Chains A and B, each alone.
Chain A
Amino acid sequence: MPATERKLTQQQILRMKANGETVLHDAPETPRRHVISVRLENHVGALNRVVNLFSARNFNLESVTVGVTEDPEVSCLTIVTSGTRRRVKQVLRLLDRLLDTLSVEDLAPDRLVERELCLLRIGYTKGNRAELMDVADIFRARVIDVTPETMTFEVTGPTAKVNAFVGMMRPHGILEVARSGRVAMRRALVYGD
Chain B
Amino acid sequence: MNSTPTAPFKAHSFNGRPAPEGVPQEPKGPRMSGAEIFVRSLEAEGVEVVFGHPGGAVIKIYDEMARLKPRFEHVLVRHEQAGTHAAEGYAKATGKVGTVLVTSGPGATNTVTGIADAFMDSAPLVVFTGQVPTALIGGDAFQETDIIGITRSITKHSFQVRRAADLAPTIKAAYHIARTGRPGPVVVDLPKDMLAEEAVFEYPETVTLRGYRVPEEPLPEKIRQAARMIRASERPLLYVGGGTVNGNASGLLTALARKARIPVATTLHGLGAFPENDPLSLGMLGMHGTWYANMAVQHCDLIIAVGARFDDRVTGKLEAWAPHARVIHIEIDPSCVSKNVYADCAVMGDVRRVLEALLPRVEPGDTGAWLARIEAWKARCPLTFAQDGKLRPQYVIRRLSRRAGGNAVVTTDVGQHQMWTAQFFTFVRPRSHITSGGLGTMGFGFPAALGAAMGLRGAGVTVVSINGDGGFLMNAQELRVAARRRLPIKIAVMNNGYLGMVRQWQELFHEERYSHTGLADTNPDFVKLAEAFGCVGLRAATPGEADEVIEAAWRVRDRPVLMEFIVPEEEMVFPMVPSGAATDDMILRRFSEE
Chain A interfacial positions (CB closer than 8 Å to B): 9-12, 14-15, 41-49, 52-53, 56, 66, 73, 86, 89-90, 93-94, 96-102
Q: Does B152 contact A (CB under 8 A)?
A: yes
Knowing A45-B3, A45-B4, A90-B335, say if A52 contacts B319 (CB, 8 Å): no
- Listed from nearest, the 5 A-B pairs whose CB atoms lie closest are A45-B5, A93-B335, A56-B153, A73-B16, A10-B319
Q: Is the CB of B5 within 8 A of A97?
A: no
Q: Is the CB of A41 within 8 A of B152?
A: no
- Complex interface: chain B residues within 8 A of A15 (CB): 326, 342, 344
Q: Is the CB of A96 within 8 A of B334?
A: yes
Q: In which size bucket is the chain B interface?
A: 35 or more
Q: How far is the CA of A12 from the CA of B6 in the complex (A)?
A: 44
- Complex interface: chain B residues within 8 A of A97 (CB): 333-335
Knowing A9-B342, A93-B334, say if A43 contacts B153 (CB, 8 Å): no
| A41 CB, nearest partner CB in chain B, Å | 6
Q: Is the CB of A86 within 8 A of B211?
A: no
Knowing A94-B335, A97-B335, say if A48 contacts B3 (CB, 8 Å): yes
| B381 CB, nearest partner CB in chain A, Å | 25
Chain B interfacial positions (CB closer than 8 Å to A): 1-6, 8, 15-17, 148-149, 152-153, 156-157, 160, 177, 209-213, 318-327, 333-335, 337-339, 341-342, 344
Q: Is the CB of B4 within 8 A of A11?
A: no
Q: Is the CB of A48 within 8 A of B1?
A: yes
How many A-B residue contacts, CB cutoff 8 Å? 86
Q: How far is the CA of A48 from the CA of B158 in the complex (A)?
A: 12
Q: Is the CB of A11 within 8 A of B338?
A: no
Q: Is the CB of A9 within 8 A of B209?
A: no
Q: Is the CB of B338 within 8 A of A41?
A: no
- Complex interface: chain A residues within 8 A of B342 (CB): 9, 11-12, 15
Q: Is the CB of A11 within 8 A of B335?
A: no
Q: Is the CB of A53 within 8 A of B153?
A: yes
Q: Is the CB of B153 within 8 A of A14?
A: no
Q: Is the CB of B209 within 8 A of A44?
A: no
Knowing A101-B211, A102-B210, say if A46 contacts B333 (CB, 8 Å): no
Q: Is the CB of B153 within 8 A of A52?
A: yes
Q: Is the CB of B339 within 8 A of A90?
A: yes
- Complex interface: chain B residues within 8 A of A93 (CB): 334-335, 337
Q: Is the CB of B5 within 8 A of A99?
A: no
Knowing A9-B341, A14-B323, A100-B211, say if A43 contacts B16 (CB, 8 Å): yes
Q: Is the CB of A9 within 8 A of B334?
A: no
